């Protein structure tokens, strides 16, 4: 079993090929429940008095069957199970552990994406020829509308913790 950190929390990873995780849980006599998540196979169980979660990941290796099991003691702070697998992959290549993004970062990125898509819809000719693209941000009005569609404003974004989003201070 290999240990790594995800958002500062310990995660244990193991690979199973001869058996599967649920069978191992059954053999050990631990009670478990499959969480209601269509996109991920996640089990909650208690071991040594501690609640744990096991994310079962099936790598895309067609010639073999195996399970990667990621065990964590609490649901990820960003509620994103896929980031656990990504973080492990990146760290195994020598990268630093992922840092948890601020809510401001997520709102900024989503507003930027929405504003871009809306502008692309309204002015398709601007996006068909790279020479027509203007440097810098999307239209500030579109960006503000996108923030409003997310239930926030630029002023609220500036008041939030946004240490990972310095561009907010430039708006």
Cβ atoms of 146 and 86 closer than 8 Å: no
CA distance 91 to 11: 12
Query: Is the pLDDT confidence value at 160 over 90?
Result: yes
In angstroms and rounded to an integer, the radius of gyration of the C-alpha atoms of the chain is 21
Q: Report the pLDDT value the prediction gives residue 132, as an integer from 0 to 100.
A: 53
Show the tokens assigned to 15: 């690979």
Q: Looking at residue 129, what is its pLDDT?
A: 58
Q: What is the model's pTM?
A: 0.76
Q: With 90 as the cut, is the pLDDT of residue 41 above it?
A: yes
151 vs 171: CA distance, rounded Å: 18
% of residues, the chain, pLDDT over 90: 67
DSSP 8-state symbol, 16: E
Question: Tens digit of pLDDT for each residue in 44-64?
Answer: 999 999 999 999 998 876 656
Q: Where are the domains of the chain?
A: 2-92, 103-170
131-148 pLDDT, tens digit each = 555 545 577 888 999 999
**Most distant pair of Cα atoms in the chain: their distance:** 65
């Amino acid at each position: 079993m290999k240990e790594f950190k995800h958002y500062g929390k310990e995660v244990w990873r193991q690979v199973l090929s001869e058996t599967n995780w649920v069978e191992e849980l059954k053999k050990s006599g631990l009670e478990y429940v499959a969480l209601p998540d269509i996109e991920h196979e996640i089990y909650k169980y208690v071991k040594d008095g501690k609640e744990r979660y096991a994310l079962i990941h099936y790598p895309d290796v067609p010639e073999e069957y195996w399970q990667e099991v990621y065990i964590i003691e609490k649901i990820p702070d960003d509620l994103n199970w896929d980031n656990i697998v990504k973080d492990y992959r990146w760290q195994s290549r020598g990268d630093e552990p992922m840092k948890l993004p601020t809510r401001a970062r997520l709102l900024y990125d989503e507003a930027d994406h929405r504003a871009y898509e809306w502008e692309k819809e309204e002015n398709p000719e601007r996006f068909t020829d790279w020479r027509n693209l203007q440097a810098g941000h999307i239209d500030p009005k579109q960006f503000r509308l996108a923030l409003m569609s997310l239930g926030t404003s630029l002023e609220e974004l500036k008041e939030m913790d946004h240490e990972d989003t310095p561009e907010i201070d430039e708006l």
